[in-house]
Amino acid sequence: MRISSLSEKEFLEKVFAARQFSKSDGALLADTLVDADLRGISSHGIQRLAWYTSMIKEHIIEPQNKLKVIKETPTSLLIDANKNMGQIATAFAEKQLIKKTQKLGLSVAVIRNSNHFGTAGYYARMAAKQGLIGIALTNTRPLVVPTNATEAFLGSNAFAFTFPAEPHPFVFDGATSIVSSGKIQVLAKNNQPIPGDWAVDDHRRVMHDAQKVEDNLAKVAFTEKQPGGGVLTLGGLLQSNSNYKGFGNSLVVELLTGILAQGSISADTNKPGHHDFSQFLLTINPELFGNLDDLKKSAEEMFDRLRHLKHLPGTEIMIPGDREYRRYAENLKQGVVIDDKTAAELKTIGEELAIPVPEAI
């Protein structure tokens, strides 16, 4: 079914208020989920609400906790998210970085003791809206199997990068692994096979049954006893296809998040009642180097040349961001898609809190 993004936002704000988030925190959380659904990134939209709710009940998320600024310099911020949602600490940090970067040209923040923060792109886009280059990283629960390994250790470790441009910024936003676990969840939900070499068992044999992979990942990511197997790095199964480069990219994120923030690395976020994700933000003012309008124009010209390269019949060449802004415009009109399982979860959540759920349009 589809619901209007407006009704989705109202519902979410009421739920978050009932769960003791402050009004402004609840509005932010709602906005990040609605924004993801509008962009067609449903893996990071309202379908996360049941998970967020269970984490609140387990005190993995503490909605009333205030973040703490541990250390601040004119170019940096170290923040303790204090077990509250990652969105709250990260949006706060991004706003501070934008101010710092407008003064000194670039700045960096790391956040520890945090939780899921929605899409990494949300924060990197905040920078792009101010004419800045934005980078946002997070580690995650352990899911990803390094080159040659037969057990998971790395997170799917999101990387978002934005560069100002019109009609929309360049927005590269996704897991550094070959896919995020959300993509596998969606296939499992719909009884579809995995179309590529995404996941392996405890002997590094490729698995295509999405439900079996999903069942295994639930153990891999959420229990301390590792059954083996997991998601592959970008580059896939084989060292001959340079899968160690995907491994390297994932490790860069581990170093800049869990290590630099002195929080947990992904491998240590699978303890019961424990989350402790870490995030990393960097913003750069492109006007350190040139006029913003000129730089945007150069980028847009490159994107247009790319879109018009010779390509396979029946395909198109899309620039990172093209798809999500196209879907944003469509879903704003048509409403956002809610799958049946999520609809049922929302019904349960609404009944528990006596909040009416959004109606299908």
If the CB atoms of residues 288 and 332 are measured against its own copies, the closer one turns out to be 288
Backbone angles phi, psi at 180, to 5 degrees: -85, 160
Tell me how far CA of residue 329 lies from CA of 29, 161, 168, 243, 326, in angstroms.
21, 21, 12, 36, 5
* Residue 92 near its own copies by CB under 8 A: no
CA distance 254 to 279: 10
Binding mask 131-150 for its own copies (x = CB under 8 A): --x------------xxxxx
Is 333 in a helix, a strand, or coil? helix
If the CB atoms of residues 320 and 358 are measured against its own copies, the closer one turns out to be 320
If the CB atoms of residues 34 and 135 are measured against its own copies, the closer one turns out to be 135
CA distance 222 to 225: 9
If the CB atoms of residues 7 and 257 are measured against its own copies, the closer one turns out to be 257
Beta carbon of residue 154, minimum distance to its own copies (angstroms, whole number): 8
Largest separation between any pair of C-alpha atoms in the chain: 56
- Cα dihedral sign, 347-349-351-357: negative
If the CB atoms of residues 197 and 339 are measured against its own copies, the closer one turns out to be 197
- For its own copies, the binding residues in 103-122 under the rule CB under 8 A are 104-108, 110
Confirm if 239 and 228 have CB atoms less than 8 A apart: no
- Cα dihedral sign, 21-22-23-24: negative
If the CB atoms of residues 167 and 333 are measured against its own copies, the closer one turns out to be 167
By rule CB under 8 A, what count of residues binds its own copies?
82
- For its own copies, the binding residues in 286-345 under the rule CB under 8 A are 286, 288-290, 294-295, 298-299, 302, 305-306, 309-312, 315-320
Beta carbon of residue 209, minimum distance to its own copies (angstroms, whole number): 16
- For its own copies, the binding residues in 212-271 under the rule CB under 8 A are 228, 234-236, 238, 240-242, 244-249, 251-252, 254-256, 259-262, 265, 267
Q: What is the per-residue DSSP string for 87-116?
A: HHHHHHHHHHHHHHHHHHSEEEEEEEEE--
Which DSSP symbol is given to 239?
G
- For its own copies, the binding residues in 149-208 under the rule CB under 8 A are 149-151, 153, 161, 163, 170, 172, 174, 176, 178-179, 195-198, 202-204
Is 182 in a helix, a strand, or coil? helix
- For its own copies, the binding residues in 1-20 under the rule CB under 8 A are none
If the CB atoms of residues 49 and 135 are measured against its own copies, the closer one turns out to be 135
